[in-house]
C-alpha cells in the first residue's frame, strides 16, 4: 500500500490544514478587533506657510511669530472683501446668462467688483510692506523674490495668455509650420 494514499495520511493532513485555517482566521479576527491606536497628526495651512517662509528667509522665532500674526490679521481684514467679490461675481453670472441681460446692472456689478478688488490689492501691498518691515535688509531681498514668484504664479495663466513676447513666438512657429 502506498504511504500517500493511505487513509491515515489523508486524515492527518486534513486535520492539520483545518487547524491551520482556524488558527489563521483567529489571528485575522483578533487583528481586526485589536487595532492599535492611531496617532492623529493635524497639519494646518498656517503651519505649512510658516515653514515656507521660515526656511528661505532664515527667520528667527520672533520674526516667524510676527509673520504669523501679520498674516492672520491680513486675512481677517481682507476676508469680507473677498466674500463680497464672490457674491458680486455670482450676481454677475446670474445676470449675464439671462436671455436679455441688463447691461447697466452688469456695468454696476463689474464696477463694484473692481472697487473691492482694488481694496484687496491695496491691503495686500500694505501687508507685504508690513512683512518687509519685520525682515532685515538681506531678508527683504529674498522676501521680494519669493513674493514676486507667488504673485506671478497665481496669475500665471493670465500672463501666458497676454504676454506679447510669447504671442510673437507662437506666430513664428505657426508661420514655420505653414511653409
Range(s) of the domain holding residue 101: 45-157
In a domain, 83, yes or no: yes
In a domain, 21, yes or no: no
User: Structure pTM?
Assistant: 0.57
Low-confidence winner among 27-36, 88-97, 109-118, 167-176 (lowest mean pLDDT): 167-176
Lookup result for grid cell 515656507: 52
Residue 54 near residue 64, CB atoms below 8 Å:
yes
The enclosing domain of 122 has a CATH number of 1.20.120
In a domain, 8, yes or no: no
What whole-number distance in Å separates Cα of residue 101 and Cα of residue 131? 44
Q: Could you tell me what percent of the chain has a pLDDT over 70?
A: 73
The 3-state DSSP class for residue 130 equals helix
Q: Which of 72, 68, 79 shows the shortest CA–CA distance to 120?
A: 79
Burial class (CB in 10 A: 0-12, 13-18, 19+), 53: buried
In a domain, 109, yes or no: yes
In a domain, 163, yes or no: no
In a domain, 80, yes or no: yes
Mean pLDDT calculated for residue range 157-169: 48
For the chain, the domain total comes to 1
What whole-number distance in Å separates Cα of residue 79 and Cα of residue 12? 75
Residue 34: DSSP 8-state: S
In a domain, 56, yes or no: yes
Residue-wise pLDDT for 80-136, tens only, equals: 999 999 999 999 999 999 999 999 999 999 999 999 999 999 999 999 999 899 888
Amino acid at each position: 500500500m502506498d504511504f500517500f494514499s493511505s487513509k491515515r495520511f489523508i486524515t492527518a493532513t486534513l486535520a492539520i490544514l483545518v487547524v491551520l485555517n482556524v488558527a489563521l482566521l483567529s489571528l485575522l479576527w483578533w487583528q481586526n478587533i485589536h487595532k492599535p491606536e492611531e496617532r492623529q497628526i493635524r497639519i494646518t495651512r498656517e503651519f505649512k506657510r510658516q515653514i515656507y517662509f521660515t526656511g528661505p528667509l532664515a527667520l528667527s522665532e520672533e520674526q516667524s511669530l510676527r509673520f504669523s500674526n501679520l498674516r492672520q490679521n491680513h486675512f481677517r481684514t481682507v476676508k469680507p472683501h473677498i466674500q463680497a467679490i464672490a457674491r458680486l461675481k455670482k450676481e454677475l453670472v446670474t445676470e449675464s446668462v439671462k436671455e436679455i441681460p441688463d447691461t447697466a446692472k452688469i456695468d454696476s456689478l463689474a464696477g463694484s467688483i473692481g472697487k473691492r478688488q482694488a481694496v484687496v490689492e491695496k491691503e495686500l501691498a500694505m501687508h507685504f510692506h508690513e512683512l518687509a518691515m519685520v525682515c532685515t535688509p538681506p531678508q527683504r531681498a529674498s522676501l521680494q523674490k519669493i513674493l514676486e514668484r507667488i504673485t506671478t504664479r497665481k496669475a500665471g495663466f493670465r500672463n501666458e495668455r497676454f504676454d506679447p513676447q510669447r504671442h510673437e513666438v507662437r506666430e513664428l512657429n505657426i508661420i514655420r509650420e505653414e511653409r
